[in-house]
Amino acid sequence: MCVSRVTTTNHTAHTLERVNKFTDQVTHTPWQHVTFSSNGNYVIGCPADTNQHTINVWDREKGVLTKIMEGPKEHIRNVQWHPIRPVLVAISNFGSIHVWTVSQSDNWSAFAPDFKEIEENVEYEEREDEFDFVRDAVCVYSSAPSV
């Protein structure tokens, strides 16, 4: 069953009232699956359109769309948020599992104590003989007579 909007309610009240309405204002796409983030701060919705592989993420309190994540052109069947970590997993109709997570920055200075991290590329001018390594060369001359 496809629903054209996602709503949240105030569960502390005795009567239910709509708190937010999450819709696709441009295409008015109906939603197939919806879930909350592990901390409850975000609402995740997958469109019912079979040509899209997008996951929409809304801020639950503000009701604004914060991110649209795109994947391969496979229809999403289900999506789940990891209960503790910032990881989102989706399964497509083809059986593929797609995982989204926060990208980690590499810290190479932990591997070499004299390694200096830079924010952008720096042009380095080498000395004339800095990378010239000459081994003891052995020259062999042929003593064959010239014709």
Strand 18-22 and strand 31-36: pairing?
A: unpaired
Q: What per-residue confidence (pLDDT) applies to 3? A: 45
The list of the chain residues with pLDDT below 50 reads: 1-4
Give 42's strand partners: 59
Q: What per-residue confidence (pLDDT) applies to 124? A: 82
Q: What per-residue confidence (pLDDT) applies to 11? A: 59
Decide: residue 59, CB within 10 A, 0-12 exposed, 13-18 middle, 19+ buried: middle
The ranges assigned to domains in the chain are 31-101
pTM over 0.75: no
Q: What per-residue confidence (pLDDT) applies to 12? A: 64
